[in-house]
Chain A
Amino acid sequence: MSDFPARADCVVIGAGIVGNCLAGHLSDLGWNDIVLLDKGPLPNPGGSTGHASNFIFPVDHSKEIVDLTVDSQRQYEALGLQNTCGGIEVARSPERMEEFRRRMTSATCWGIEARLLSVDEVIELVPFIDPDVILGGFYTPSVSAVDSLETGTQMRRRATEAGHLQTFANTEVLDIETVAGPNRPCISAVVTDRGRIECDTVAIACGVWSPKLAQMAGATIPLTPAVHQMVDVGPFDVLVETNQELAYPIVRDMDTFCYERQSAGSMEVGSYAHRPILHRVEDIPSNEEAALSPTEMPFTPDDFDEQLEQAIELMEFLGDGEIKYAINGLLSLTPDASPVLGPTPEVENLWSVAAVWVKEGPGVGRLMAEWMTYGYPRMTDPHGSDVTRFYPQDRNVIHIETRADEHFNKTYGIVHPREQWATRRNLTCGPAKARTDDLGAFYFEAGGWERPHWYESNADLVDRYGIEGRTHEWDARWWSPITDAEHLHLREHCGLVDISPFQVFEVSGPGVVPYIEKMVVNKCDLTVGRSIYTPVLTADGGFRSDLTIVRLSEDRFRIATGAFDGGRDEYWFRHNLPADGVHFENRTEALATYGVWGPNAIALLQTLTETDLSQEAFGYGQVRDALLSGIPVQMFRISYVGDAGFEIYCPTSAGLALWDAIAEAGREYSLRPVGAGVYGTTGRLEKGYRLMGAELESDYNPVEAGLARPRVKAADFIGKEAYLAAREAPLAAQLCVLRFESLRCAEGYDRFPMGAGNEPVLTPAGERIVDSHGRVSRVTTAGNAPSLGAYLAMAYLPPELAAAGTELSVMYQHEQYPVTAEATGANLALFDPDDSRMKA
């Protein structure tokens, strides 16, 4: 084939909805030498796009997913390939009706029109639903069905007509070649059965086949092919006589995990209720071997019988329809059910664009094109979908399949914001696990680690401090009053916190100072033993991360980041390493970390060491090597909870001995173990400390978060230009702390907003608050402040509202609760605002 290119700037592999849209958007952003490959024929190469039901329900609890979905709907609409038919989710259980109130909250937050329907109102819209089966509905008028194949075709055409894209169907990729790069292998070529293309960048948009393609380059894309069963049944007079593709709203029968979607005279019935059926990539047949298409696997009817019965319960006439088409359709499941997008950590310039539904396809195309062009997306913060969020231990097939197996049946499930995984637990544990087990630790998983969230051994403190429980089961789920009791105990005496899941890196070498200065906002070139808390920015000046950095020696810095952020941060630091002069090392597993805080903490620790721990000798923010009970440690005087004390780092091998030594010495000082519920929420919130992924997202900058220092360092750093501009620009939003004036719900008891990201801050009249950049005000964290006797929230507000005393409200479970803004700016601490306790 003489016209087959020998070179391209970018090769996109996979011509489903995602690859096509990526090619289209790359072209729009100026990429002018793109090759799109698919092993199958066009327009339907045989991937999951080809058998998708193609409908879009825009309301979700996740901002990131909603941003992608709503943007996709706009794009489908602009192409004239969207049919807006409305959609109804119906409930069969009271729990689902309650979930609909949560969905109303999310819909309000994202500005998507929606309403709760009575049974009669459901029947009015879909007369053939049996009213005796349901309790009510959740209606979204903007639910739509789209033509994903034609959208892909038009995206390709757009890029082709611009002269930017060449497309080759029926072309199988045999290998993806890399060359050695300064730190990691780097993309060099794609080898196909029609020739070899040298290229700088490769994007894998191969849906269920993506892991296989990534493996060719030595990378991983953690997903598994999984079955979604679907049948097409009909014809039915009631549908035929409408003479329309979609005359009725699409129905999701949420409690049976099924949907019913009109398709002209027939109904498509699909399910996420059947047993999880996972396949290995190598078990997917080729286009030639498959009876239908590779991703339309043979239907296994026994798995679907219960769903047939339930569908007939809901819509009796379905029973007489003929099953004309039935498939085990393949789709992609990841370990945590979110997409896998972005740069792969293993190979430079290899991008993952996988595990994406049709409802997000065009939005993901735009997001990825921005990411590949600007270094980070502009349309939304993708941290929940970032492929680098997965740690190495999350990338093996057993983990992927086990977690996919666990969450498949939650596709339409009611998933609590704090819900914990049941499988793949106890794989990564701190050295004191045996002790924390004995103390009745209730563990949450934090980035794969088992982290005590509260301790049953502290149950006695609940009575002592008079902590009340929560009336509503939803509010009390994955929560314990022990957390509040532990908090008060720490404030009164002291607490020992296991923070070993901290992700710890060390960078060292002759080039380390310019390197680390380039990476972060605040100045790192300080004296040895000093620490720096600093934002890490995207090129556009939004938050990519926040970190604590300690200068261990002239040419060595330690970087500590959160348990959930280590994968993304490690990628970013490695990606930006210079060709030589800086060495990067992940020390997470080598170090155990404990925190000891509270009024007694310093005195307690002083009994174990000859190092003078007084504030005068060992000031706040300093790091020293010390012997603690004869164990060599590094002590870091810092606090995320608002009381005096230290983070203590020691070799993991000494971690158990250190725990025992502190616990033993702590008997005299009323030391109690304290869980991450205090560390991560109650203690933090009283001090107004920001959290990555909650307050800190790429949509916001340090000025808005109140984290801009008075002066900007001289050294250049990533995002500096945008940061300087933001410091000069009029403020569009400001992070605030809000106090709930009342938590009393209409039924007469207190409710407790979660701060899960979907709870909007509203005017007292119930209107959404949107800033001049189009960002909605919503609760980023919410929780108890036991020392203040208050319930607090954090949220960004436009400047005219960001002032102490502003009266607003927060929606939770579709009810409004009055709040008052209490603090804004740099210091958001309502507890001990001048930090006198921390610096005691």
Chain B
Amino acid sequence: MRILVCVKRVPAVGSRINVTDDGQQVDTAHLGFTTSPHEECAVEEAAQIVERLDGDDHTVVVLTLGPEESTEQLRYAASVGGNEFALVMAEGGLDWDPQRTATAITAAVHEMESSGGEFDLILFGNESADGGNFQVGIRVAYALGRPIVNGIKGIDVTSSGIVARRETDAGYEVYELETPCALGVKEGINLPRYPTMKGRLASRKAQIAELDCAGGADAGGQARQRLHRPPERASTTVMLGDSAAAAPAVVDLLDELGVL
């Protein structure tokens, strides 16, 4: 089986997110970067799927679009179960609109499939942690003419295709898809593994293919006007006391909150 996982490099933020003076970007001066959490789960899910399958003729390919630094996220994927890696080089690509991103990724899929064969399954995160547009996976699947279901929290590979589950208030919706297909997964589908020390060291040797397919992607219809930081919710810490002496105050508070 051949699985493609599309991941995005996003800032690892604290509770307060600063915006650059021009209002166009998250201020990342103090921040590190990580893989968007839904997509981290997608990589884990792909790794688990191929681990469950018989034989060793299975591949997890991880693709990202962004600046050169995005190789950090590909190497991280390499340390937790990815096998092949591709970067669509796009300076500023982390802030591209979803249409343009989807166009470039679609082109990348075509290019990778023409050389490496069709992907049975393409996994996206449900939405990116920074942009939160909820569009790229759907646009790519549509452009490729493949079915896609979003909000997925369970995947089984069967002899006839893929069974995917989506959580609802009442339980699960179950989808049966024929391959090739695409899914948008949500955090909670699994608990992603941490890289081992050996895994980290091995990931440094991972080959990363650079794909030159960003050039033809034109800006889409959605344009960022300005980012605003929402007003801060002031919070205060009230010390209820210390050790056992604090118990009555805790009880009072729980009572006040109506949870007793």
Interface residues of A (CB under 8 A from B): 41-42, 157, 169-170, 233, 283-291, 297-299, 301, 305, 308-309, 311-312, 318-324
Task: Check: B237 CB closer than 8 A to any chain A CB.
Answer: yes
Question: Taking the nearest CB of chain A, how far is it from the CB of B193, in angstroms?
Answer: 7
Q: Are B197 and A319 in contact (CB under 8 A)?
A: yes
Q: Are A291 and B194 in contact (CB under 8 A)?
A: no
Q: Are B236 and A170 in contact (CB under 8 A)?
A: yes
List residues of chain A with CB within 8 A of the CB of B72: 301
Q: Which residue of chain A is the closest to B18 with respect to CB atoms?
A: A289
With the chains together, A305 CA to B239 CA distance in Å?
42
- Give me the 9 closest cross-chain CB pairs, A-B, nearest first: A298-B32, A288-B16, A322-B194, A285-B30, A319-B198, A291-B12, A290-B14, A289-B14, A308-B197
Q: Which residue of chain A is the closest to B202 with respect to CB atoms?
A: A319
List residues of chain B with CB within 8 A of the CB of A291: 12-14, 31-32
With the chains together, A287 CA to B18 CA distance in Å?
13
With the chains together, A319 CA to B199 CA distance in Å?
8
Question: Taking the nearest CB of chain A, how far is it from the CB of B43, in angstroms?
Answer: 15
Task: Check: B160 CB closer than 8 A to any chain A CB.
Answer: no
Prevailing SS type, chain B contact patch: loop
Q: Are B200 and A320 in contact (CB under 8 A)?
A: no
Q: Are A322 and B196 in contact (CB under 8 A)?
A: yes
With the chains together, A305 CA to B205 CA distance in Å?
12
Q: Are B30 and A301 in contact (CB under 8 A)?
A: no
Partner of A308, one of B12, B31, B201, B242: B201
Q: Are B31 and A322 in contact (CB under 8 A)?
A: no
Decide yes or no: A323 and B196 within 8 Å by CB, A286-B16, A289-B18, A305-B204 being known contacts: yes
With the chains together, A170 CA to B234 CA distance in Å?
12
Name 29 A/B residue pairs within 8 A (Cβ), A-sorted. Answer: A42-B239, A169-B237, A170-B237, A233-B197, A283-B29, A285-B14, A285-B30, A285-B31, A287-B14, A288-B15, A289-B16, A289-B18, A289-B30, A297-B30, A298-B12, A298-B33, A299-B32, A305-B204, A308-B197, A308-B200, A311-B197, A312-B197, A312-B201, A319-B201, A320-B197, A322-B196, A323-B195, A323-B196, A323-B197
List residues of chain B with CB within 8 A of the CB of A298: 12, 31-33
With the chains together, A299 CA to B232 CA distance in Å?
27
- For the side of the interface on B, what is the size category? 20 to 34
Question: Taking the nearest CB of chain A, how far is it from the CB of B203, in angstroms?
Answer: 9
Residues of B98-120 whose CB lies within 8 A of A: none
List residues of chain B with CB within 8 A of the CB of A289: 14-18, 30
With the chains together, A41 CA to B238 CA distance in Å?
10
With the chains together, A311 CA to B193 CA distance in Å?
21
With the chains together, A299 CA to B32 CA distance in Å?
7
Q: Which residue of chain B is the closest to A288 with respect to CB atoms?
A: B16
Decide yes or no: A324 and B32 within 8 Å by CB, A285-B14, A288-B14 being known contacts: no
Q: Which residue of chain B is the closest to A267 with respect to CB atoms?
A: B197
Question: Taking the nearest CB of chain B, how far is it from the CB of A519, in angstroms?
Answer: 48
Question: Taking the nearest CB of chain A, how far is it from the CB of B133, in angstroms?
Answer: 23
Question: Taking the nearest CB of chain A, how far is it from the CB of B227, in angstroms?
Answer: 15
Q: Which residue of chain B is the closest to A312 with respect to CB atoms?
A: B197
List residues of chain B with CB within 8 A of the CB of A323: 194-197, 200
Question: Taking the nearest CB of chain B, how far is it from the CB of A577, in angstroms?
Answer: 44
List residues of chain B with CB within 8 A of the CB of A319: 196-198, 201
List residues of chain A with CB within 8 A of the CB of B32: 291, 297-299
Decide yes or no: A309 and B14 within 8 Å by CB, A283-B30, A298-B32, A320-B196 being known contacts: no
Partner of B30, one of A290, A321, A322: A290
With the chains together, A311 CA to B29 CA distance in Å?
31
With the chains together, A286 CA to B16 CA distance in Å?
9
Question: Taking the nearest CB of chain A, how far is it from the CB of B181, in angstroms?
Answer: 31
Q: Which residue of chain B is the closest to A328 with respect to CB atoms?
A: B32
With the chains together, A287 CA to B235 CA distance in Å?
13
Partner of B242, one of A157, A283, A324: A157
Q: Are A41 and B237 in contact (CB under 8 A)?
A: yes
With the chains together, A323 CA to B193 CA distance in Å?
9
Instruction: Using A170-B236, A289-B16 as known contacts, list a sample of 15 further A-B pairs with CB atoms less than 8 Å apart, ordered by residue number in A.
Output: A288-B14, A288-B16, A288-B232, A289-B14, A291-B12, A297-B32, A308-B197, A308-B200, A308-B201, A319-B198, A320-B197, A321-B197, A322-B193, A322-B195, A323-B194
List residues of chain A with CB within 8 A of the CB of B31: 285, 291, 298
With the chains together, A312 CA to B200 CA distance in Å?
12
Q: Which residue of chain A is the closest to B15 with respect to CB atoms?
A: A288
List residues of chain A with CB within 8 A of the CB of B198: 312, 319-320
With the chains together, A305 CA to B193 CA distance in Å?
19
List residues of chain A with CB within 8 A of the CB of B13: 291
List residues of chain B with CB within 8 A of the CB of A318: 197
List residues of chain B with CB within 8 A of the CB of A233: 196-197
List residues of chain A with CB within 8 A of the CB of B236: 170
Q: Which residue of chain B is the closest to A40 with respect to CB atoms?
A: B237
With the chains together, A308 CA to B204 CA distance in Å?
12
Question: Taking the nearest CB of chain A, how far is it from the CB of B57, in angstroms?
Answer: 26
Q: Which residue of chain B is the closest to A41 with respect to CB atoms?
A: B237
List residues of chain B with CB within 8 A of the CB of A324: 194
Q: Which residue of chain B is the closest to A324 with respect to CB atoms?
A: B194
List residues of chain B with CB within 8 A of the CB of A283: 29-30
Q: Are B237 and A305 in contact (CB under 8 A)?
A: no
Residues of B192-223 whose CB lies within 8 A of A: 193-198, 200-201, 204
With the chains together, A305 CA to B195 CA distance in Å?
13
Please encode chain B, from 62 to 93, with 1 for each CB lying within 8 Å of some chain A CB and 0 for all others.
00000000001000000000000000000000
With the chains together, A312 CA to B198 CA distance in Å?
8
Q: Which residue of chain B is the closest to A290 with respect to CB atoms?
A: B14
With the chains together, A286 CA to B29 CA distance in Å?
12
With the chains together, A284 CA to B195 CA distance in Å?
27
Q: Which residue of chain B is the closest to A325 with respect to CB atoms?
A: B194
Question: Taking the nearest CB of chain A, how far is it from the CB of B148, in angstroms?
Answer: 31
With the chains together, A324 CA to B194 CA distance in Å?
6
Question: Taking the nearest CB of chain B, how far is it from the CB of A293, in angstroms?
Answer: 9
Q: Which residue of chain B is the closest to A285 with respect to CB atoms?
A: B30
Interface centre among B197, B236, B242 (most CB of A within 10 A): B197
